[in-house]
Amino acid sequence: MLKCLIITAGLSACMQNNEQTPINETIKSPTMDTTKSIHAFQIEALDGSTINLADFKGKKILVVNTASECGYTPQYKELQKLYEAYSAKLVVIGFPSNDFGQQEPGSNAEIKSFCSKNYDVTFPLAAKSTVKGSGVSAVYQFLTQQSKNGVMDAEINWNFNKFLLDENGILLQKFESSVKPMSDEIVSLLQ
């Protein structure tokens, strides 16, 4: 008698009855390890609602730590433009943070008002978050620790660092603040 195993990559393997592998065991393909996906997270939004990152399966995700009083703050305009231009295959998520130079001192309501009034931001914005140091959010632990994301260790150096994840929520690449949202470096990965 043959026993068959379902493998998460969509394949099956059959074994003779005398082998010791249980029939209900699942073998995970390294490329399909769901524990290394950002889709596992739910985060608080600026308005207090919940952003379920699993809702974005099938789209790339660009995660950006933002601030309202930074020299890079005008990137909000390009982030919005990128979000609109590639909305069928990309979602941008901003994570306002006061971790660098105290450049995001406002409350969630003040940040939401600032982004809407000055940059017409419609992409999702998380509640004010810690992205570095003590109390770092779970999402940023995932993004910056290879042991959690399975890809790389990364350091957040300033506001507007960017992380691009694929359609399965797997980390692809990190971009420094100076890389503009509509740059060829980012856009070429969305084609």
Question: 14 an active-site residue?
Answer: no
In this prediction the pTM is 0.82
pLDDT of residue 191: 83
Give the pLDDT score at 4. Answer: 37
Same domain, 164 and 108: yes
Residues 53 and 19 in one domain: no
Same domain? For 92 and 133 the reply is yes
Q: What is the 3-state secondary structure (H, E, C) of the chain?
A: CEEEEEECCCCEEEEECCCCCCCCCCECCHHHCHHHCHHHCEEEECCCCEEEHHHHCCCEEEEEEECCCCCCCCHHHHHHHHHHHCCCCEEEEEEECCCCCCCCCCCHHHHHHHHHHHHCCCCCEECCCCCCCCCCCHHHHHHHCHHHHCCCCCCCCCCCCEEEECCCCCEEEEECCCCCCCCHHHHCCCC
Can you list the residues of the chain whose pLDDT is less than 70? 1-35
Specify whether 38 is located in the same domain as 15. Answer: no
Number of domains making up the chain: 2
In this structure, are 78 and 20 located in the same domain? no
Regarding whether 25 and 69 lie in a shared domain, the answer is: no
Judgement on whether residues 51 and 99 belong to the same structural domain of the protein: yes
Q: 179-188: per-residue pLDDT in tens?
A: 999 999 999 9
Q: What range does the domain containing 11 cover?
A: 2-32
Predicted local distance difference test score (pLDDT) of residue 35: 65
Question: What is residue 19's predicted lDDT score, i.e. its pLDDT?
Answer: 38
Give me the pLDDT at residue 50, please: 97
Tokens of residue 145, six digits = 């620790």
